[in-house]
Amino acid sequence: MQLIDGKALANKIQEQVAQEVDDLKSKHNIVPGLAVILVGDDPASHAYVRMKSKACERVGFYSITHNMPDSINQEEIIGTIEMINANPRIDGILVQLPLPKHIDTDAILDAIDPNKDVDGFHPCNVGRMVTGLDAFVPCTPLGVMKMFEEYNINLQGKDVCVVGASNIVGKPMASLLLNANATVDVTHIYTKDLKEHTSKADIVIVGAGVPKLIKADMIKEGAIVIDIGINRLEDGSLVGDVDFENVAPKCSYITPVPGGVGPMTIAMLLSNTLDSAKKRVSK
């Protein structure tokens, strides 16, 4: 069993991004800029946004966070997005999800300039990704693909089971796998017999948000298991969606939680924002 070290890979990518930021600054006087919109006071969302801002600082980006109260209305958020769309110092816009219930998330994502949509959630980028065109790709599934690349895991013809079909993780993950010629099986909360699907797969990728959902008897010997879940238990500990202790001995490769996919999500956000900033050079 080999651990896939997301933290080490994310650090390597951050160093590469920081180097490219230095070059962009010295050769073109361009500083990549990221704007984050955070609505409400969900502690987990605040923690994620803090981590994203710190990462921006580490690689030399310009970053601003718009903290908005829960009581804000949709038009005010869209007004702020339009202002950021027009700001030439900003290359990437990220609206931290989930948004409060009274806000229409689709209307908010639709307001983001697709050329600054570094989260890849705008329908324009989703469509481009599905058809295999150049697009901003959502950071978590993109991070998983980078892990496969780093560990020379070939996806062509592999049976891959994706557990969870969210717009942020499961659906884009399935598209990227399909584009890499894997055979993809997407399961979700209405799937009749989850084990029936996971136990046949060469690779199982789990983003369901259910602590220790995947048990040892649901995984085939020698399978690769990627755990996207981050769940905080009542005792304060962090666990994934996989029962790591019992599943790991059966795997050829597995990601830990923490230190697996989580750091890769942030590294990909930096990478997408850098790519967006580089397009300023040719303008």
Catalytic positions, written as ranges:
52, 96, 119
> Taking the complex as a whole, how short is the minimal distance between the CB of residue 20 and ligand GUN, in angstroms?
22
**227 is an interface residue for ligand GUN by CB under 6 A:** no
Binding piece for ligand GUN, criterion CB under 6 A, among 81-89, 94-102, 201-209, 245-253:
94-102
Among 111, 137, 142, 168, binds ligand GUN (CB under 6 A): 168
β 224-227/238-239 pair status = unpaired
Instruction: Check binding of 119 to ligand GUN (CB under 6 A).
Output: yes
Residue closer to ligand GUN (CB basis): 145 or 248: 145
- Cβ burial of 69 (10 Å; 0-12, 13-18, 19+) is exposed
Binding residues for ligand GUN restricted to 253-272, rule: CB under 6 A: 265
**120 Cβ contact partners less than 8 Å away, ≥ 6 residues apart:** 126, 129, 135, 136, 137, 138, 139, 142, 172, 272
- Measure the CA angle with vertex 143, ends 279 and 179; round to 5°: 80
Q: Considering the rule CB under 6 A, would residue 96 count as an interface residue with ligand GUN?
A: yes
With CB under 6 A as the contact rule, the residue among 97, 180, 194, 210 that binds ligand GUN is: 97
When the beta carbons of 201 and 261 are compared against ligand GUN, the nearer one is: 261
Write out the E strands in the chain.
2-3, 33-39, 62-68, 92-95, 159-163, 183-187, 203-206, 224-227, 231-232, 238-239, 253-254
Q: Which is nearer to ligand GUN, 7 or 250 (CB)?
A: 7
Token pair for 100? 């409060």
Residue 24 is a binding residue for ligand GUN (CB under 6 A): no
Binding site for ligand GUN (CB under 6 A): 94-97, 119, 139-140, 168, 265
